[in-house]
Amino acid sequence: MMHYQEYPSQLILKAASSAPYLERDEELALARRWADKKDQDALHQLTTAHMRLVLSLAFKFRRYGLPTADLIQEGHIGLLEAAARFEPEREVRFSTYATWWIKASMQDYILRNWSIVRGGTSSNQKSLFFNLRKVRAQIARSGTASNSQELYEQLAHALKVPVKDVATMDARFSGPDTSLNAPIGEDGEGTAQRMDLLESEEATPQENVTLLIDGERENGWLYEAVDTLNDREKRIIEARRLAEKAATLEELGDEMGISKERVRQIEARALEKLREALLDLNPEFSEYGHL
């Protein structure tokens, strides 16, 4: 595969402009030679003749701020994919078929690299990303939306996506990515960073103490309730519920000389006895959880 970023842009333009145009019959003949015989020369002629298409689409996508050379490279990948999947017997122009693959390849590249925040890649999300600005301009010219909510609702209807997705994408378009390590303050010379303003998801010291006390209390209730079980029920509960690696019903059945279905029945009965014992011993247990 040719790596176009290694060549000056003017050489790419010159090579594409000098490539001959293909008539429909020539196009189909080359496609058949490639599809049937894997003729590399036919593939080269077919793709070279359609590099103008790659360049045209790359220049249209430049507004997203990514290097044109990279867009051309991705477009060439899409062109090769189109050549690999093209079916000459359908009698469709290769340029028509290739346009979809070239555009899709470039759009995927833009979605992966436009922002460090990864967006959705579903067809709805792609449509929203690439059409939001155009449809928004059309609605603005029509003057039918008097506020942001009405605008988002009309955009969502036109693009067939949820309103919340429109609002999220609009927010992404409203400003560039900002590093969490960026300093706070107008002069940008402070020691505090934006990351310092994020709310911690860790439990507070008070919450940790509460969780510790509740955990110890629940463990005491559980061990007291386990004492109400007979030896076989205890063995099954310990092996199935309290062990680091739970034993299977079949393993316990072999150990006890009973069927795995019988083990399952005993386990179910033991769990019900535990629930009843826990509620009898501590009625407030229902507020903490269940087995």
pLDDT band at 5 (very low <50, low <70, confident <90, very high): very low
Closest listed residue to residue 288, CA positions, set 228, 225, 244: 225
In the structure encoding, which two tokens stand for residue 242, read together?
């309290």
Question: Are both 107 and 131 inside the same structural domain?
Answer: no
Residue 191 lies in a domain: no
Alpha-carbon span 51 to 15, nearest angstrom: 9
Query: Does residue 6 have a pLDDT over 50?
Result: no
**pLDDT number for residue 248:** 92
CATH number of the domain to which 218 belongs: 1.10.10.10
In this prediction, what percent of the chain has a pLDDT beyond 70? 69
**pLDDT number for residue 224:** 78
Please identify, among 66, 87, 113, the residue that sits at the C-terminal boundary of a domain: 113
Residue 169 lies in a domain: yes
What's the total number of domains in the chain? 3
Supply the range of the domain harboring residue 162.
123-173
pLDDT band at 288 (very low <50, low <70, confident <90, very high): very low
Question: Are both 104 and 15 inside the same structural domain?
Answer: yes
Question: Are both 99 and 29 inside the same structural domain?
Answer: yes
CATH number of the domain to which 60 belongs: 1.20.120.1810
DSSP string, the chain: ---GGGS-HHHHHHHHHHSPP--HHHHHHHHHHHHHH--HHHHHHHHHHTHHHHHHHHHHGGGG---HHHHHHHHHHHHHHHHHH--GGG---HHHHHHHHHHHHHHHHHHHHS-SS----SHHHHHHHHHHHHHHHHHHHHT---SHHHHHHHHHHHHTS-HHHHHHHHHHHTS----TTSBPSSSS--S-BGGGGSPP-SPPHHHHHHHHHHHHHHHHHHHHHHTTS-HHHHHHHIIIIISSSPPPHHHHHHHHTS-HHHHHHHHHHHHHHHHHHHHHH-GGGGGT---
**Buried b or exposed e, range 68-79, using 16+ CB within 10 angstroms:** bbbbbbbbbbbb
155/200: higher pLDDT = 155
pLDDT band at 175 (very low <50, low <70, confident <90, very high): low
Residues 176-189: tens digit of each pLDDT: 545 555 566 655 55
Query: Does residue 142 have a pLDDT over 70?
Result: yes
Residue 200 lies in a domain: no
Residues 46-62: tens digit of each pLDDT: 988 898 889 999 988 88
Residue 180 lies in a domain: no
**Least confident residue range of 20-24, 100-104, 287-291:** 287-291
For 279, phi then psi, to 5°, come to -70, -35
Closest listed residue to residue 159, CA positions, set 139, 144, 180: 139
Question: Are both 159 and 250 inside the same structural domain?
Answer: no
Closest listed residue to residue 47, CA positions, set 71, 25, 20, 67: 20
Question: Are both 9 and 88 inside the same structural domain?
Answer: yes
For the chain, what is the mean pLDDT? 77
Task: Looking at mean pLDDT, say which of 123-127, 133-137, 169-173, 249-253 comes out highest.
Answer: 249-253
